[in-house]
Chain A
């Protein structure tokens, strides 16, 4: 398989944390917690659209 072109969104991601982070004020607490929760919930959006395509 040929080398793939870089895609705008990685697998498992709809809105990357790096993009979301720019919208937030400076995080004074646990930044990693905010990142993890964002990514976990964002992944549900990814599941939704790919399952629509593949399963339903």
Chain B
């Protein structure tokens, strides 16, 4: 690696990590969660970056080389439809196949009566989560995997072989991508590892949101037991993918466990008591968790404030970033807060003004990372992303 690139990488890593530890770096770090925007910028369709992960990697590297960002995700589009097709996954609409080539992939939640987990299967999940996923859940979410007790098939066997090899191939690609980001543009890979909350994952992939809504009323004890049963597994998966150097955080993707999707009572009964021990266990191992608080999670800031200082980075999407900073900014780094609609429909001057407002209100003492509110898709204007980047570099020097 060229010496100047190594120096740039070291500067950016220090800046990014200092801010995440709620300290004051030399300047505000910029870490954009750019997904389909990378395709637009690099001249690819959404289909190309979703279906060909090498193109997705190349697009992310092109953005990293052309914009002065401190950190990016190797492939924020993340879902690779080559892999999901190998598995036979039913719940995605893939660009260029099910939807237009220029629209990002979509998750399709089945109707409540066709949920991938039935309401009377909680005990199976609780007793043996891994066995349940392999034996019951996977055959339901895959068009190829045969149900237990049913005749196997060529497609069934191939699903495991192709799925396993494809997943390994993809994950190995991330290691190479991180090295290329470092050597080609001095850019840090922003996160490592994955976490979802037990309550969220039951809604997302097992019972569905409506099914879980019903269950918290009709079988509340089973819901709590299932959340508790998932805790050790989700902790294990999160730690197994964590950064061995303990620099960058584990990405935690927050979905529909908050008010108003559920009540405060439900959050306090299910979501928080089964998430908090995971975060504490991860922090005890020296890893931070990045709370990607999609939507508005400000109703629960007091709960998050129970966590040890520095245990998390709190990313703000549609919530009031100034309120978040006021309530938890003394404990945790805050990121995000630049509205995506502004990046799509605003002017560069409006973007600069909004960035100034956020920096003035949130970043004065450090502990802030510039980013859009939500993942940046192909509706964002290139000139607005450039304005956001350049303004932060000019105005965000401490």
B235 surroundings in chain A (CB, below 8 A): 11
Contact status of A54 and B196, CB under 8 A, knowing A4-B229, A5-B225: yes
Is A56 a contact of B237 with CB atoms below 8 Å? no
Cβ-based interface call for A53 (8 A): yes
Contact of A11 among B78, B138, B236 (CB under 8 A): B236
Shortest CB-to-CB span from A2 to chain B, Å, is 6
Is A54 a contact of B237 with CB atoms below 8 Å? yes
Could you give, for residues 9-42 of chain A, a 1 whenever the CB lies within 8 Å of some chain B CB and a 0 otherwise? 1111110000000000000000000000000000
Shortest CB-to-CB span from B322 to chain A, Å, is 32
B229 surroundings in chain A (CB, below 8 A): 4-5, 7
Contact status of A50 and B133, CB under 8 A, knowing A2-B228, A4-B232: yes
Give CA–CA (A8, B126) in the complex, Å: 9
Is B128 a contact of A49 with CB atoms below 8 Å? no
Contact status of A5 and B133, CB under 8 A, knowing A12-B236, A48-B164, A54-B196: no
- Which one of B18-26, B60-68, B82-90, B360-368 is at the interface? B82-90
Chain A: CB-nearest residue to B206: A53
Among B131, B168, B233, find the residue whose CB has the most chain A CB atoms closer than 10 A. Answer: B233
A13 surroundings in chain B (CB, below 8 A): 130
Is B231 a contact of A1 with CB atoms below 8 Å? yes
Give CA–CA (A25, B172) in the complex, Å: 35
Contact of A49 among B138, B224, B225 (CB under 8 A): B138
A contact residues, range: 20 to 34
Could you give, for residues 104-138 of chain B, a 1 whenever the CB lies within 8 Å of some chain A CB and a 0 otherwise? 00000000000000000000001111110110011
Could you give, for residues 57-85 of chain B, a 1 whenever the CB lies within 8 Å of some chain A CB and a 0 otherwise? 00000000000000000000011100110
Chain A: CB-nearest residue to B235: A11
Is B83 a contact of A56 with CB atoms below 8 Å? yes
Contact status of A56 and B79, CB under 8 A, knowing A7-B127, A44-B164, A48-B164: yes
Chain B: CB-nearest residue to A5: B126
Is A55 a contact of B130 with CB atoms below 8 Å? no
Shortest CB-to-CB span from A22 to chain B, Å, is 18
Known: A49-B133, A54-B201. 16 other contacts (CB 8 A): A1-B228, A7-B127, A7-B232, A9-B130, A11-B232, A47-B237, A47-B240, A49-B134, A51-B194, A51-B237, A53-B133, A54-B194, A54-B195, A54-B196, A54-B237, A56-B89
Closest 6 CB pairs of A and B: A11-B236, A8-B128, A9-B130, A49-B133, A11-B232, A50-B237
